[in-house]
Structure 1
Amino acid sequence: MPIVTSAEFLRREFDYLIVGGGTAGLAVAARLTEDPDITVGVLEAGPIVDGDAAVSIPGCYGESLGTPLDWQFQTTPQPGLGGRVLNWPGGKVLGGSSALNFMTWNRGNREDYNAWEKLGNRGWGWNDLLPFFKKTEHFHPKGPRSQDEYQEHFDPRALGIDGPVQLSYARQYSPSHKLWHETLNALGGRHEQAAPFGVECRVVEEIELRPEGDEWAACGVKFKHENEQHSALALREVILSAGSVQSPRLLELSGVGNPKILSRAGIQTKVESPCVGENMQDHFMTAMIFEVDPTLENPDDLKFSADAKTAALDLYHKSQTGPLTVLPCSICYVPFQHFVPPETLAVAQATIARIDGYSSEERSIRSQRFGPQARVGQIEYIFDLGNWNPFFKPQPLSGKKGSTHIKPATPTDTGSTGIRQSGGVMGSPAIDPQYYCGQHGELDLELMVHCARFAHKICDAQPLASIIRSRASPPAVASQSTANGENNDDEAWRQWLRENTISDWHPVGTCAMGGRKGIEAGVVDARLRVYGVRRLRVVDASVMPLQISAHLQATVYAIAEKGSSMILEDRLPRRHV
């Protein structure tokens, strides 16, 4: 994508302006410009990065967090976490958060997407989305020996073979990977070409809205570049692809949102849209840290030995092999029914029925997740050698580390983001995920106690237990067991979870599709058009009405593929300027 100066950018006439050159925005730009008669402009606050090991080498995952490539947002103080403020990374770079993440590519369960359609979002069920998942992918299977040795099972009919995103299993695995599969199986678990033009801008400040008939219409974008304010025009549409934090904030700055919030910020309400910035649903997580067999090759070796890191870099550049190709990929998704007592799930169902704020359809969908027939993987476990999350900092250990991450895949808590506090208008957004708060959060916390206990059970089972020497976090007080092996010290577990839970940086829902309830329940319709505003769409993770049991990257690409297809199908006439 050619990057041009602001002067060159402003001299061009664009059919479509895309705000955000991230995962979704660049995919939409690429698809639209396959038509040579369409001109697309992309505005991105971050730079182009080429040759940066933190972005391009798999084993350097996490090294870009907290750097200038990261927006480095933070949450508001979280009462459910003892008032802690959490780091909230986001990609401030061409490529967005896909340049910062840990390269996990998986899809949600069929029922995750069918739930979107049940809410009234026609065309967003599994069968409708599958072609767009496949359109993105170019899958490269490894040989039969690797497939058998590392259980690389896949259905070739469900995977794309000629898309732009190159996919494969890891080139190498950590020594614990095979033990993980054997342990979960023993416990009965389930593994579930025309180019757009881009300009690097300091910040997009507003979507310009003008009256068009009896509605407002998006006509362009105001942005700053080198301390000068500019306006770029869009002849057909403006497409917001700034992510679940920035997209709702930009709508609010443009006068689309809750009038009470906009009034406090001194912004004229143009379109009353009460759900902008609401309905935030995030994957949160915590981790158990272990001392492991010191003789095993461990990713932490590269963190503490400059010689080991240099040798690994040399090997990677020569043959693209070695420890820098290893990623934390020992993952499974387990239904609650596998380890949560039936009486606890019954209480969960009853709690869902009492929670205000859910529509009857959403209440039914969420309640069914706790039913005896539910088979969606509601909790994600990841184990690998090393302490590979940079925000988990347990007490120094005498030996090498291993870690098990515990992540609810479909949490019940909901939060908000946007211009909701002093400084939030042109300063940092107010991100308030509301972890463990309210009726939603209390339910999540109780379920997490069971999830943490099961994680302990996994790591105490063979053959995985054969490489674990001791556990450092949580401390012993949170793992004392009764004679029958059950832990009765619930409050100790709760306290440990409050002190150690962080975000997994998978926020969705802040510009959700409203389904049958329309603007009362969402921000965009099923064609991703912003309610009450012509020529304006949102195409990113924020449109997802319910969280999915997967990492987000593959689904965001599918949303971008489907969104760009709808934009081309609708192909609005050019405005007369």
Structure 2
Amino acid sequence: MANPSISALGFCQRKFDYLIVGGGTAGLVVAARLTEHPDITVGVLEAGPAVFDDPIINVPGRFGESLGTGYDWQFETTPQPGLNGRRIPWNRGRVLGGTSALNFMTWNRGNRQDFDAWEELGNKGWGWDSLLPFFKKTETFDEPSAEHQSLHHTQFESEYHGSNGPIRTVHSKEYSVPHQYWHETLERLSTKTNTSHFSGSNLGAFTTLTSVDPNTRTRCSSATAYYLPNSARKNLVLLTEATVQEINIEKDGRDEWVAKGVKFTHAGEVYAANAGCEVILCAGSVQSPQLLEVSGVGNPSVLAAAGIPLKVCNPNVGENLQDHMMTAMVFEIDRSIIGPDELRADPTLAAAADLTYETSQSGVRAMLPCALSYIPVSQVLSSASIAELARRVSTPRSSLRDRVLAKQFAPGVVRGQVEYLFDVGNWSSYFKSEPGKVYGTMLMMLQLPFSQGSVHIPPRSAAGPPTMQTKPVIDPQYYGGDGGRVDFEVMTTAQKFAAKICSTAPLSNVIRSRVFPPQQGPAADDEDFTDFVRNYTASDWHPVGSCGMGGLAGITAGVVDDRLRVYGVRGLRVVDASIMPLQICAHIQATIYAIGEKGSAMILEDRGVGG
């Protein structure tokens, strides 16, 4: 397979129209779409290596094994008061393809209301109807057979799917044992199967798609889907293991700040590359704001403390950070079930699973967690409780953002604020498995948090100002502030429904006992999950918003405008998850691809070229 072969010096000697910082989920989309036009030359700088043949990345059933390795930036939060002072790992991809090469390959979309809320903030063209063509453009959907639909609840409406996009999306061939009981169990709890969860409402239970090639049953990432097929283009130049240190922002003849290029390091040497038209940041929700700050764009107090000269004052850089919060309840399940834990513990089982996968692209190595359900808070909280939450988060003094977000609690509004997912394996880093036992985990994730945090460069040290090698200060403020207290109340109450799912037949038929947290009593409704939620909430690895679109409020509320241009700097855009002004009710992978597609189209429009 193709690998980038240009030298750092050779890269710098090229004349680029556009320089893309970050060869991740969105960055490689932009690179591929711009270079469809032969007269546009694009350079991509990626800090990680190009890896196309490592099974811990490629093999679906080995999801999670790459976390904490050299393919991971291995970030960590500050101690979180809302989590009793715990630090939380924040895994982000440090490899070509970015987090699309590390994630669990879940492919779904949020609700119409999620994206319409972005437009309500004043971000023109970012509502559901405007985004749907870009969701479809990124995807080639592999339709399941009628038999597969009947057996696994993989219903769909083809009009909402793409048929000619780079990312292959497919349902798994087979599923873990608990999956076959998921839909019937949820149905007994008044949660119906959603037969069209890509059409603007993902409420209910469904079997989700995955970003997996249907022919090879290997991971489909931005590296394999957007880069590899286009790697021979002479106008697409990639340099891996190159860490951008600073955006070169200079004053022009009109006394305006303009992005001219970047400085980067490669093999210990410092280089500079220039961009004739634009620098495009695609470094993600952690490093895009970090790079803006080390380049002089940000909050004056943050930059002053770091010893970085201020160029453009924007206190919103690194703010508005939002993440999906997650808890993991662990159950001992039927010992006849084989999952990833069993393969890791037994080399003979692992070898047999590898052989099955290699010969027929099936078995445990081909399986992914796909049994999901999104439910509204009205299913777990009383009307009076919901009204009280709405009152607490939406006052005349609230920001437009909080008022828009608070509409999820309005009477009659039904959105999937809480996600539930059950699968084989011990997914909790806080519970130690016992040999010989088989586990399953119920994950619960809050989708529309009011908690807002930040990511910033740290203050100057004795060694000097922080650089891109310096770990950023990630403070998600889980359960912090008035809004965070609302999040905590929803999570602790919704946890009871998670316990109820697992005590309901037929799913309960394969469950022996709950081992973490230990069962408090016979009825889930009577349990108090306050300590469990406080002590064991973790990240669901979906950070957004740290370079959010400003909408109607412009630079007073955001970092980029609705065409993703950085306020105050000409020739500089951000195209990644950090531009999302509000979180969505979904895993964010498909949305980041759509952002990459829409961002590319905007860049081409502004250049006067058809998309």
Q: TM-score range by the shorter chain?
A: over 0.9
3-state SS, counterpart of residue 318 of structure 1: helix
* Native 8 Å contact 1:18 1:29 kept in 2: yes
Contact kept, 8 Å, 1:91 with 1:98, in 2: the verdict is: yes
Task: For residue 481 of structure 1, report the CA deviation from its aligned partner.
Answer: 5.9
Question: What is the CA-CA distance between 1:405 and the residue it aligns to?
Answer: 0.1
Gaps of 5+ in 1: none
> 1:401 aligned to 402, 421, 439, which one?
439
Residue 66 (structure 2) aligns with: 64
Which one of the candidate residues 255, 266, 272 is aligned to 1:225? 266
C-alpha displacement of 1:395: 5.5
Counterpart check, 1:499 vs 2:540:
no
- The yes-or-no answer on 1:461 pairing with 2:504 is yes
Matched with 1:206 is 246
* Structure-1-length-normalised TM-score: 0.95
CA offsets, 1:49-104, max 9 Å, x none?
12101100000000000000000011111111111111111000000001000000
Secondary structure, in 3 states, of the residue corresponding to 2:106?
Answer: coil
Q: Match for residue 188 of structure 1?
A: 190
Match of 1:446 among 484, 489, 504: 489
Does structure 1 residue 414 correspond to structure 2 residue 447?
no
1:517 to 549, 553, 558: 553
Deviation, 1:203, is 2.0
Match of 1:551 in 2: 587
CA distance in 2 between counterparts of 1:231 and 1:181 reads: 55
| 2:341 alignment partner AA | D
| Matching of residues 367-386 of structure 1 within 5 Å | 367-386=406-425
Shift of the alpha carbon at 1:365? Answer: 1.8
TM alignment of 1:31-180, pairs within 5 A: 31-180=33-182
Q: Once structures 1 and 2 are overlaid, which stretch shifts more, 333-342 or 61-70?
A: 333-342
The SS at the match of 1:486 is: helix
CA distance in 2: counterparts of 1:32 and 1:362, whole angstroms: 33
Give the conservation status (yes or no) of the 8 Å contact 2:61–2:368.
yes
In structure 2, the partner of 1:278 is: 319
- Cα displacement (A) at 1:552: 0.7
**What amino acid is the match of 1:205?**
Q
Cα offset, 1:398, TM superposition: 5.7
SS in 2 for 1:534: coil
> Aligned partners of 1:398, 1:309: CA distance in 2, in Å?
15
Offset from partner CA, 1:361-400 (integer Å, 9 cap, x none):
32332222112312110000000111246x3434537621
Give the AA of the match of 1:554: A
Contact (CA 8 Å) 2:49, 2:241: kept in 1 or not? Answer: no
Q: Deviations over 1:174-225 (max 9, x none)?
A: 1111201110111111136535211124421110011122310000001111
Q: Percent identity?
A: 50
3-state SS of 2:394 partner: helix
- In structure 1, how many angstroms separate the alpha carbons of the residues matched to 2:444 and 2:15? 49
The amino acid that maps onto 2:452 is T
- Residue 486 of structure 1 and its aligned partner are, at CA, apart by 3.0
| SS of residue matched to 2:500 | helix
Q: Structure 1 CA distance, aligned partners of 2:460 and 2:436?
A: 45
Partner of 1:216: 257
2:42·2:237 contact (CA, 8 Å) conserved in 1? yes
TM normalised by structure 2 equals 0.90
Partner of 1:4: 6
Paired residue secondary structure (2:545): coil
Return the alpha-carbon distance in structure 2 between the equivalents of residues 22 and 392 of structure 1. Answer: 30
Could you report, residue by residue, the CA deviation over 1:504-561 in whole angstroms, capped at 9, with x for unpaired residues? 1100000000000000110000000000000000000000000000011000000000
AA matched with 1:403: T
Give the counterpart letter for 1:11 in structure 2.
Q
> 1:423-478: CA deviations, max 9, x gaps?
682210000001112212211111111111000111111111111110001123xx
Cα distance in 1 between the residues matched to 2:384 and 2:458:
39
Partner of 2:601: 565
Residue number among 247, 265, 269 corresponding to 2:310 in the alignment: 269
Secondary structure of the residue that 1:191 maps to in structure 2? strand
Q: CA deviation at 1:354?
A: 4.5
**Whole-angstrom CA distance in 2 between matches of 1:139 and 1:486:** 41
State the alpha-carbon separation in 2 of the partners of residues 134 and 569 from structure 1.
19
Answer whether contact 1:219 1:238 (CA < 8 A) is retained: yes
Between the aligned partners of 2:59 and 2:70, the Cα distance in structure 1 is: 18
CA distance in 2, matches of 1:88, 1:258: 23
Alignment partners' CA distance in 2, 1:302 and 1:136? 34
Q: Distance in 1 between matches of 2:144 and 2:555?
A: 47
Aligned-pair distance for 1:347?
1.5
Matches within 5 A, 1:321-360: 321-354=362-395, 358-359=398-399
Instruction: Determine the C-alpha separation between the residues in 1 that align with 2:242 and 2:19.
Output: 16
Shift of 1:421: 4.3
Structure-to-structure mapping, 1:4-23, within 5 angstroms: 4-23=6-25
Query: What is the distance in 2 between the residues matched to 1:523 and 1:309?
Result: 48
Q: Determine if contact 1:509/1:544 at 8 Å carries over to the other structure.
A: yes
Tell me what 1:435 maps to: 478
Letter in 2 for 1:442: R
Does the CA contact (< 8 Å) of 2:302 and 2:459 recur in 1? no
Distance 1:421 1:398 in 2: 49
Preserved CA contact (<8 Å) 2:280 2:574 = yes
The answer to whether the 8 A contact 2:431-2:516 is kept is no
How many residue pairs match? The answer is: 563
In angstroms, what is the RMSD of aligned CA positions? 1.7
